[in-house]
């Protein structure tokens, strides 16, 4: 129901063509009852943008972003980094296990 507290929201939706036919009729009936709001409705409606149907861009393919391919050097460095991280993690776990075996307080804890 359109009223003086929410008519601006309806006008925005009208300008964006987001009202149902029933809502649009309710808004237009409300504006007919309050003619002082007609210039405001016309101002909202004037903000509608019309797309240019005839506009054609010939270089559309140039706009498509392609994924960069990793060169051999970068791929090799990433593989080396992954190996270093895995071995570092393995060493950390091995040290923790060894400390637990040699420390009587840690050996009483549950895994």
Averaged over 38-64, what is the pLDDT? 84
pLDDT at 107 > cutoff 80 = no
Number of Cβ within a 10 Å radius of residue 4: 9
Tokens encoding 64: 């498509």
What are the boundaries of each domain within the chain?
A: 7-45, 70-107
The DSSP annotation for 58-101 comes to: TTGGGGSPPPPPPPHHHHHHHHHHHHHHHHHHHHHHHHHHHHHH
Quote the percentage of the chain above a pLDDT of 90. 41
* pTM greater than the 0.75 cutoff: no
pLDDT at 108 over 80: no
């Amino acid at each position: 129901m359109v009223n003086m507290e929410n008519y601006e929201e309806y006008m925005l939706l009208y300008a964006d063509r987001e009202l149902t036919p029933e809502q649009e009729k309710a808004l237009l009936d409300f504006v007919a009852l309050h003619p002082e709001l007609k210039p405001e409705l016309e101002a909202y409606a004037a903000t509608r943008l019309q797309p240019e149907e005839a506009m054609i861009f010939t270089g559309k393919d140039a706009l498509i972003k392609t994924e960069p391919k990793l060169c051999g050097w970068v791929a090799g460095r990433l593989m080396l980094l992954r190996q270093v991280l895995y071995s570092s993690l393995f060493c950390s776990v091995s040290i923790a296990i060894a400390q637990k075996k040699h420390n009587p307080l840690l050996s009483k804890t549950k895994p």
